[in-house]
């Protein structure tokens, strides 16, 4: 009986050893770095030219339809705005005069406000209370500030303040002042918060005082040539240049 008990115990021990599971563990750490991405794609001619060589063009203005297309992709909430700039040749907030026609001493002024350029965007600003460029261009006989291009008074590219124009978004932070991340590549429907087509218009007027120029403020005042340079003044014939910066920035 003792031998039998010993053999049974040995078989049990052997069976337990045969079924034992050996484990050896090693760990590897996986890191994910989600970098914020802001991408603005722009399709536009390198240079947009307005040539006024007919009286009717001075009076009615010239419009460039669909001249610029803006496409946004972002992983974070964002704002988009346009700011008019120049080299400051004629001072901050004014176009640069590259060429003068005729005798400058015979009359005319070269201080032409940047805001004389008007913009119109195809979709309205998705941030409801914000100002934008979605309004129709006003009639030439009724000057209005709804489409005058924003500029930074220091001739920089500072973001517009509260009440000033954004293409999308607004001054301040949070859901009420920004557009959530997304992309024109995945948006659906007939309108998109991530795609804008921009029209441009310039109305010199007769005489050429640019009546659509207004200061970039919540309650803008006329900034046509008469307001800037005094009664009886008008634009000096010549070639003038400025440029627009479209700035996409993270809302923070």
Q: pTM for the whole thing?
A: 0.88
Confidence of residue 11 (pLDDT cuts 50, 70, 90): very low
Q: How high does pLDDT run on average in the chain? A: 90
Q: Tell me what percent of the residues of the chain surpass a pLDDT of 90.
A: 78
Closest C-alpha among 188, 230, 193 to residue 209: 230
- Give the tens place of pLDDT for each residue, 172-216: 888 889 999 999 999 876 689 999 999 999 999 999 999 999 998
Q: What's the sign of the alpha-carbon dihedral 37, 43, 46, 50? A: negative
Indicate the domain borders of the chain: 34-250
Q: What is the DSSP string of 99-145?
A: EE-S-GGGS-B---BGGGSEEEESS--SSTT-B-S-SPPPPTTS--S
- Give the tens place of pLDDT for each residue, 84-123: 999 999 999 999 999 988 766 667 899 999 999 999 999 9
pLDDT at 173: 87
What would the two tokens of residue 224 be? 């046509």
């Amino acid at each position: 009986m003792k031998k039998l008990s010993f053999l049974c115990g040995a078989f049990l021990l052997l069976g337990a050893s045969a079924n034992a599971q050996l484990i050896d563990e090693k760990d590897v750490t996986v890191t994910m770095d989600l970098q914020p991405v802001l991408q603005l794609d722009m399709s536009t001619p390198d240079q947009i030219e307005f040539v006024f060589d007919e009286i009717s063009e001075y009076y009615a203005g010239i419009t460039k339809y669909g001249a610029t297309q803006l496409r946004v992709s972002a992983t974070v909430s964002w704002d988009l705005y346009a700011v008019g700039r120049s080299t400051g040749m004629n001072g901050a907030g004014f176009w640069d005069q590259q060429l003068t026609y005729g005798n400058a001493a015979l009359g005319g002024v070269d201080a032409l406000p940047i805001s004389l350029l008007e913009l119109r965007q195809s979709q309205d600003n998705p941030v409801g209370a914000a100002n934008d460029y979605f309004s129709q261009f006003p009639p030439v006989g009724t000057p209005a500030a709804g489409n005058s291009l924003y500029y930074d008074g220091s001739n920089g590219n500072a973001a517009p303040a509260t009440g000033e124009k954004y293409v999308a978004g607004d001054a301040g932070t949070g859901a009420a002042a920004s557009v959530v991340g997304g992309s024109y590549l995945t948006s659906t429907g007939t309108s998109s918060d991530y795609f804008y087509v921009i029209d441009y218009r310039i109305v010199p007027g007769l005489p050429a005082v640019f009546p659509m120029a207004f200061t970039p403020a919540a309650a803008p005042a006329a900034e046509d040539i008469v307001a800037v340079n005094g009664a009886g003044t008008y634009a000096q014939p010549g070639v003038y240049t400025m440029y627009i910066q479209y700035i996409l920035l993270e809302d923070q």
